[in-house]
């Protein structure tokens, strides 16, 4: 009996370890889907879209957490949709390399997104340098040529939940850099965005119709809004962001449509604006809408030579079509500005130009100090001013320029 059991142990123990090792290796091989194993080539000419899609399909069909891995090389990839739902909700897209978009002339002119994640749950995009190659399209648009496409957004998430985007660098998007649309629980962290200040519609991050989105530690230099916030955004938190050049952080444009979801519970904290066209802006078309803005806090904000540091504009009507002589239906209420310091590049540092039919209400200003800094050479310091139209609210503590509320 004793001898028999001993023999069994001699055989079973090593066998056990062999099985564990084999299983671990199999699972591991399944886990990491390296795009090169699916045919991606960093040779400067191959379009690796289908390889990326195959790697995605492998990760998406996996019943256990899985990674799509992009090595530290440069891959060209065309417009691609990474589509869910998947069999697991822990997919990591680890990008050590560079993804390069084709020139706009080589892309579908109707493509709205370059890299789109649609209907996914639990996806993390970590790292990577996304080169949107927008330069030739900027030139096309700037020359007012007919037939320039609008261009695609670089990285978009639609109808997705539990998303992390971390340490991604996006350069020269053809249109917006990052879009979060109809999503829940999204964290964008350590994002860097770069595009020339004259590039058209290259918004840094656009958030719309989404719930619980956080943007932390971002550096955004671009040609349009740093962060734009569309209808239906709720529980948005933005903290430690450097904006500029660009057009600042904007809630809106709203009132584009009559039937529109409201924007609710937005916090923007510890943001530095440098040489931006606007700082903190709420913007709506001057026309009817059922939308609203309610519960916004802007605090600990630094303005460096910003053209319109604080700006509520409810009479947005850029091409004078479909809005002149109408009033915005957007009700703006409970908006607080606390500890806003720095310099304005124009004399009107605070401008509240609200709707005649839905005046702004419960606007609160607390500890504001904005000075008017003219051209540096002139060394002139004239007092900054504020402008109020159809607005109700209170000013607490020192407020400079003097409040007109």
Ligand X SMILES: *[C@@H]1O[C@H](CO)[C@@H](O)[C@H](O)[C@H]1NC(C)=O
- Interface contacts to ligand X, rule CB under 6 A: 60-61, 86-87, 108, 110-111, 235, 237, 265, 267
Looking at the DSSP bridge assignments, the partners of residue 83 are: 118
- C-beta of 215: minimal distance to ligand X in Å? 10
- C-beta of 376: minimal distance to ligand X in Å? 38
Q: Give the total residue count for the chain.
A: 405
Q: Which is nearer to ligand X, 82 or 316 (CB)?
A: 82
Question: Residue 268 and residue 282: Cα distance in Å, rounded?
Answer: 13
Distances (CA, A) of 199 to 122, 170, 175, 177, 224: 33, 14, 9, 12, 7
Question: Residue 129 and residue 131: Cα distance in Å, rounded?
Answer: 6
C-beta of residue 155 within 8 angstroms of C-beta of residue 130 = yes
Distances (CA, A) of 359 to 57, 330, 389: 51, 9, 8
Q: Which is nearer to ligand X, 61 or 381 (CB)?
A: 61
User: Cis omega (within 30 of 0) on the bond before 225?
Assistant: no
Q: Which is nearer to ligand X, 127 or 295 (CB)?
A: 295
For 215, the token pair is 């943007």
- C-beta of 363: minimal distance to ligand X in Å? 19
Angle (CA) 160-162-165 rounded to 5° is 90
- C-beta of 295: minimal distance to ligand X in Å? 7
Question: Residue 227 and residue 238: Cα distance in Å, rounded?
Answer: 9
**Residue 253: helix, strand or coil by DSSP?**
strand
- C-beta of 177: minimal distance to ligand X in Å? 19
Q: Which is nearer to ligand X, 110 or 144 (CB)?
A: 110
Q: Is 68 exposed, middle or buried (0-12, 13-18, 19+ CB in 10 A)?
A: buried
Biggest CA–CA distance in the chain, Å, is 102
Among candidates 335, 366, 365, 352, which has minimal Cα distance to 267?
Answer: 335
Q: Which is nearer to ligand X, 129 or 237 (CB)?
A: 237
Q: Which is nearer to ligand X, 296 or 340 (CB)?
A: 296
- C-beta of 112: minimal distance to ligand X in Å? 6
Q: Which is nearer to ligand X, 60 or 349 (CB)?
A: 60
- C-beta of 62: minimal distance to ligand X in Å? 8
Strand 161-166, strand 184-189: pairing: parallel
327 catalytic per annotation: no
Q: Which of 247, 256, 300, 327 is catalytic?
A: 247
Q: How many CA atoms lie within 13 A of 34 on its CB side?
A: 10
Residue nearest to ligand X (CB): 61
Give me the active site residues, please.
247
């Amino acid at each position: 009996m004793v001898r028999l059991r001993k023999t069994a142990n001699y055989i079973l123990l090593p066998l056990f370890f062999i099985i564990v090792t084999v299983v671990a290796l199999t699972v591991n091989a399944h886990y990491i889907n390296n795009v090169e194993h699916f045919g991606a080539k960093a040779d400067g000419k191959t379009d690796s879209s289908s390889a990326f899609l195959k790697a995605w399909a492998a990760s998406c069909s996996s019943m256990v957490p899985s990674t799509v891995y992009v090595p530290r090389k440069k891959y060209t990839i065309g417009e691609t949709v990474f589509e869910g739902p998947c069999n697991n909700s822990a997919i990591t897209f680890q990008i050590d390399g560079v993804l390069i978009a084709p020139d706009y002339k080589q892309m579908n002119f109707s493509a709205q997104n370059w890299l789109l994640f649609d209907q996914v749950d639990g996806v993390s995009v970590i790292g990577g340098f996304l080169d949107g190659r927008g330069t030739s399209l900027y030139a096309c648009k700037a020359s007012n040529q007919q037939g320039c496409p609008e261009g695609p957004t670089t990285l978009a998430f639609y109808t997705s939940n539990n998303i992390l985007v971390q340490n991604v660098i996006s350069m020269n998007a053809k249109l917006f850099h990052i879009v979060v649309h109809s999503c829940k629980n999204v964290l964008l962290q350590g994002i860097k965005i770069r595009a020339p200040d004259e590039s058209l519609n290259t918004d840094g991050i656009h958030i719309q119709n989404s719930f619980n989105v956080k943007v932390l530690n971002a550096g955004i230099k671009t040609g349009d809004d740093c962060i734009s916030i569309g209808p239906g955004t709720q529980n948005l938190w933005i903290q430690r962001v450097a904006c500029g050049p660009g057009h600042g952080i904007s809630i809106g444009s709203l009132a584009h449509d009559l039937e529109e979801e409201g924007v609710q519970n937005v916090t923007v904290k510890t943001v530095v604006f440098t040489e931006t066209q606007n700082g903190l802006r709420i913007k709506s078309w001057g026309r009817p809408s059922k939308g609203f803005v309610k519960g916004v806090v802007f605090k600990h904000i630094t303005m460096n030579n910003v053209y319109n540091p604080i700006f509520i504009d409810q009479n947005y009507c850029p091409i004078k079509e479909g809005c002149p002589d109408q009033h915005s239906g957007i009700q703006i209420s409970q908006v607080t500005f606390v500890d806003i310091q720095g310099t304005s590049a124009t004399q009107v540092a605070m401008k509240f130009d609200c709707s005649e039919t839905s005046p702004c209400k419960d606007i609160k200003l607390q500890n504001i100090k904005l000075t008017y800094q003219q051209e540096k050479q002139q060394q002139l310091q004239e007092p900054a001013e504020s402008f109020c139209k159809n607005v109700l609210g209170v000013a607490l503590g020192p407020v400079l320029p003097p409040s007109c509320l």
